[in-house]
Structure 1
Amino acid sequence: MPLTLFNLRRLFKNIFILINILVAVCLLFSYTAVFINPAKFWIPAFFGLVYPYIVLVNILFVLYWFVFNAKYSLISILAILVGFGFLGNYVQFEGEKAPKEGIRVCSYNVKYFVADGVSPKMATVEKVVQYLEDGKFDIICLQEANITSQSFRMDAIKTKLGNINRMQVVRSSRTGGPVTYTRYPVAGTGEIQYENTGNMIVFADLIIHKDTFRIYNCHLQSNRLKPHELNTIDSLRYTNKPKNYDKVKKVGSKLKQAFIKRAEQARILDGHIRNCPYPVIVCGDFNDTPVSYSYRKVRGDLKDAFVESGHGIGNTYNGRLPSFRIDYILHNPVFESYGFETGREKLSDHFPVHCVLTLKNNQ
């Protein structure tokens, strides 16, 4: 039978339907990433990582079918609706304005103050300090802070922050890690150390309004992808050389191991939070997106400040893939969050995040 124009159109339509079904299935599969421990089955974690791109392709299919054959738009619409709640973890349309009074909290991975270079820069330190000073924050959680530089010291930074008079520096590292600054009295401090990694967590018990609260400053397992490995991923857009796919396998292996390590670290942190006698605030760089097992494990019954009071797209990673939200401020439900914002200062490979927390019984 000759391939008529009608048959050709029907063929293309069927191909589009099959592709649409495949993309919708990928979206449904990405939802399972939050429930399945990567140590047991790691493939869903990769789909969870690229969830924003999968949902975007599904939205494009919905728009396409609205124009050409509306009934087929249900394929993607139903897939999106099944996990509609996940969208709010990435995009918020109405944020709560910050009140004048409250606890101003900031979390910022400063990448050892190297900015776009390979060594710490005093100019970067000064710009970061200026940002923190302008924010007049009451609690500041820095990750990947350089604590051994001869050019500057973390306690010197504290003296430049007029609102800050106390500091907790990670003690188990000789080079750097999480550093917490605060203006509140500190009743106690501690660390959660993980095996075979430089990633760690520090926590401090703060006395706020005569009550005690615990602040966790977290830096979960890094992917440790080097610039040339990111270049390999980019090169796939332009070439299909087999050697590039071998390199991609190595990148995939690194991501897999990082997923598994973060899941275990999140499990340990979750247990620590559950045994904490005080309401908690959890800040830091989780190195994982909201559609991930580790995020769900750490969040538990806590509130996500971005979801509660953010607006716009919540990406916090200032890198090759800017759709990623991997920096968080989570809090106990005794707090309410207002005015969550993601700064756009390009002083690190992360953007800073901050919000104002108020105690519900103080309103």
Structure 2
Amino acid sequence: MNTTRRYRFSAGITILFGLLCLASYSVSFWPYQSHPGVALLGLFVPLLMVVNCLLYLYWLIRKKKILSFPLLVLIIGYFTVGSVYQLHGTSEEVEDSFSLLSFNVRNFNKNGEIPEEGVDSLIIDFIREEDPDILCLQECLYSMKRSDVLPQYPHSFIDFIYSWEPQPIHVIQAVYSKYPLLNVQSIDFPDSANKAIAMDVVKGQDTLRLFNIHLQSFAIIPQVEKLKEEDSDRLIQRMGKVLIKQQEQAALLQAEIEKSPYPVMVVGDFNNNQFSYAYRQIKGDLQDTYRQAGKGFGQTYNLWGFPMRIDFILTDPSIKTLSHSTYDQKMSDHFPIRAELLYQPSARGKTRGNSLH
């Protein structure tokens, strides 16, 4: 292949991946009931951004003008959907702040997905060491309701609905808190084992509404051998249906968030990244603590070695993010996230809900 053909081929690849990346940005801005297959592009936004970054560096080294195209793609992404990587985080220590930790514990490894002994004890030890003021767990165990392994929390709620089936009909969410919990409610998602719980957290004279959520899962086993066994067309169709269900669940949550008379915190496992329509629906004018104070990729899930961020802590703008931390301990298929927060009543302007009492 001569120099001219090589350049044209490389330029064609650059334009192709640039256009795919631009198309993937649009996924977070429009509902995809009519074309759920197209929405799958949103799952690949982080990868497409990385590819465009590599293409930019490639053309920069070769000193070709086409480098401006992947650079433009990245700039458009940064100002429309955000970046996949943050160079610098922030960390402040402020009196009267509080900490919140969210973790999908995958049933404390009850089914032995991690082939090691004592993973459940590792999780409990981790929580004790971190000692957050508010702890939100997804895929918890009902046996935790009768357990005293976390005595530092005088207030807790472990959600569960009994069933005659061998397995519980809903994934179990749990909240442990050093502050009183009031007005606890379950938010059921139609035709789904996933759900959310909501409650009011009373911290001194202030009340904050907390949502601990777990959106519809793709239920994909991330091993190449397993995926090869499933027909690709059926896999894409199934994933498209999951995206539609996530959107429906996000709309339901959005309505509940809008009704809150108190500043809102939404945490949990979204089972989709920050470029999805469901994420944008729920986020609204809330702030993503990673975007406010996190650094690096902020990965909460590792898929085939690629870092993904599918677990989030979103807060009302009146709740300042002092720091955001991610952890790389392998205790589940997800990684825990933690935020240090400070409620500032005077900073609450035009946000969801009414003014705080």
Q: What is the CA–CA distance in structure 1 between the aligned matches of 2:53 and 2:103, rounded to whole Å? A: 32
Q: Residues 73-107 of structure 1: CA distance to partner in whole angstroms, max 9, x if unpaired?
A: 01111111111136745222222214154111000
Contact 1:142 1:180 in 2 (8 A): yes
* Counterpart residue number, 1:67: 61
Say if 2:344 is the partner of 1:344.
no
Q: What is the CA–CA distance in structure 2 between the aligned matches of 1:260 and 1:298, rounded to whole Å? A: 14
SS at match of 2:153: coil
Q: What is the CA–CA distance in structure 2 between the aligned matches of 1:55 and 1:74, rounded to whole Å? A: 14
Q: Residues 97-144 of structure 1: CA distance to partner in whole angstroms, max 9, x if unpaired?
A: 141541110000000111782599982222111111111111111000
Say if 2:238 is the partner of 1:249.
no
Point out the more displaced range, 316-325 or 9-18. 316-325
Say if 2:205 is the partner of 1:210.
yes
Say if 2:145 is the partner of 1:154.
yes
Q: What is the CA–CA distance in structure 1 between the aligned matches of 2:201 and 2:276, rounded to whole Å? A: 30
Q: What is the CA–CA distance in structure 2 between the aligned matches of 1:94 and 1:71, rounded to whole Å? A: 30
Q: 2:279 aligns with which of 295, 303, 306?
A: 295
Match for 2:24: what amino acid? S
* Counterpart residue number, 2:255: 271
- Alpha-carbon offset, residue 167 of structure 1: 1.0
Q: What is the CA–CA distance in structure 2 between the aligned matches of 1:163 and 1:172, rounded to whole Å? A: 26
Q: Which has the larger radius of gyration?
A: 1
Point out the more displaced range, 251-260 or 304-313. 251-260
Q: What is the CA–CA distance in structure 1 between the aligned matches of 2:178 and 2:152, rounded to whole Å? A: 6
Q: 2:186 aligns with which of 187, 191, 209?
A: 191
Q: What is the CA–CA distance in structure 2 between the aligned matches of 1:352 and 1:292, rounded to whole Å? A: 21
Could you tell me the percent identity over the aligned residues? 28
Task: Give the alignment of 1:225-244 within 5 angstroms.
Answer: 225-226=220-221, 230-233=224-227
Q: 1:166 aligns with which of 116, 131, 155?
A: 155
Give unmatched runs, 5+ long, in structure 2: 348-357
Say if 2:73 is the partner of 1:79.
yes
- Alpha-carbon offset, residue 232 of structure 1: 4.7
Match for 2:27: what amino acid? A
Q: 2:269 aligns with which of 285, 301, 305?
A: 285
Task: Give the alignment of 1:14-29 within 5 angstroms.
Answer: 14-29=8-23
**TM-score if structure 1 supplies the norm length?**
0.87
* Counterpart residue number, 2:350: none
Q: What is the CA–CA distance in structure 1 between the aligned matches of 2:244 and 2:158, rounded to whole Å? A: 27
SS at match of 1:53: helix
Q: 2:319 aligns with which of 322, 335, 352?
A: 335
SS at match of 1:180: strand
Point out the more displaced range, 197-206 or 87-96. 87-96
SS at match of 1:84: helix
Contact 1:133 1:162 in 2 (8 A): no
- Alpha-carbon offset, residue 321 of structure 1: 4.8
- Shift in CA distance, 357/18, structure 1 to aligned 2, threshold 3 Å: same
Contact 1:113 1:121 in 2 (8 A): no
Q: Residues 159-178 of structure 1: CA distance to partner in whole angstroms, max 9, x if unpaired?
A: 33343111111133553411
Q: 1:46 aligns with which of 40, 43, 57?
A: 40
Q: What is the CA–CA distance in structure 2 between the aligned matches of 1:108 and 1:28, rounded to whole Å? A: 32
Contact 1:98 1:355 in 2 (8 A): no
Q: What is the CA–CA distance in structure 2 between the aligned matches of 1:227 and 1:138, rounded to whole Å? A: 33
Match for 1:79: what amino acid? V
Q: What is the CA–CA distance in structure 2 between the aligned matches of 1:99 and 1:319, rounded to whole Å? A: 34
SS at match of 2:216: coil
Contact 2:299 2:308 in 1 (8 A): yes
Match for 2:225: what amino acid? N
Say if 2:169 is the partner of 1:178.
no
Q: 1:129 aligns with which of 121, 124, 132?
A: 124
Q: What is the CA–CA distance in structure 1 between the aligned matches of 2:110 and 2:56, rounded to whole Å? A: 40
SS at match of 2:41: helix
Contact 1:137 1:163 in 2 (8 A): no
Q: Which runs of 4+ in 1 moved over 6 A?
A: 119-122
- Shift in CA distance, 362/184, structure 1 to aligned 2, threshold 3 Å: farther
- Shift in CA distance, 354/36, structure 1 to aligned 2, threshold 3 Å: same
* Counterpart residue number, 2:7: 13
- Shift in CA distance, 92/163, structure 1 to aligned 2, threshold 3 Å: farther
Give unmatched runs, 5+ long, in structure 1: 236-243
Match for 1:343: what amino acid? Y
* Counterpart residue number, 1:241: none
SS at match of 1:336: strand
Match for 1:145: what amino acid? C
Contact 2:195 2:214 in 1 (8 A): yes
Q: Residues 291-329 of structure 1: CA distance to partner in whole angstroms, max 9, x if unpaired?
A: 110000000000000000111111101443532100000
Point out the more displaced range, 119-128 or 103-112. 119-128
* Counterpart residue number, 1:106: 101
